[in-house]
Amino acid sequence: MELLSPAQGTIFWTAITFILLLYALKKMAWGPVLQALDEREKRIRESLEKADAAQKQTEDALAKNQEIMEQARKEAQDLLNKSRKTAESMKEEIVQRAEAEAAKMLDKAKRDITLEREKAVEEIKAQTAELSVLIASKLIGKTLSKDDHKDIIDSSLQQMVEAN
């Protein structure tokens, strides 16, 4: 039964050995283990803080990208509107040039018509004069000079113009 009831000295030395073992474990094992756990906790905390900072940076970058995209859309829309205005002004300028050119062509055509009409009138006058001279010479029986014919025709035409 000695094993079941230990002696006083054995209990004392067992307790001292246990206390020394606890002290040695605390200094040699638990201290470094607790320190390692604290360092690990610190690293995890730092990693979480870095992850939060990275997430915030990512969100900031995403917001900045969205802002840049919106600004690019606005610039593209402004450029498109400006291009439309430029095209519209060019169209109006081309139409104005075409209208001015058409007006010039119309004026030229009117001048050409007036000149041609005047030429035709002069030609008719000349033919009328020749016919008048021919008729008059047949009626009178003698030939008048060209100057005589011209004077007669001019006076006849003058009388016709005054009558109209």
Residue 3 domain-assigned (yes or no): no
Count of the separate structural domains present in the chain: 1
Pairwise CA distance, residues 8 & 15, whole Å: 11
| Angle 145-147-153 from CA coordinates, rounded to 5° | 105
Whether 57 is in a domain gets the answer yes
pLDDT tens profile 123-143: 887 777 777 777 766 666 556
Structural domain of 27: 8-163
Residue 139 resides in a domain: yes
| CB within 8 Å of 136: residues ≥ 6 apart | 144, 149, 152
> pTM for this one?
0.41
- Angle (CA) 96-100-101 rounded to 5° is 115
Confidence of residue 111 (pLDDT cuts 50, 70, 90): very high
CB 133 within 8 A of CB 144: yes
Note the pLDDT of residue 138: 64
Asked if residue 1 is part of any domain, the answer here is no
pLDDT classification of 25: cutoffs 50, 70, 90: confident
User: What's the whole-number mean pLDDT along residues 94-110?
Assistant: 93
> Is 152 among the domain residues?
yes
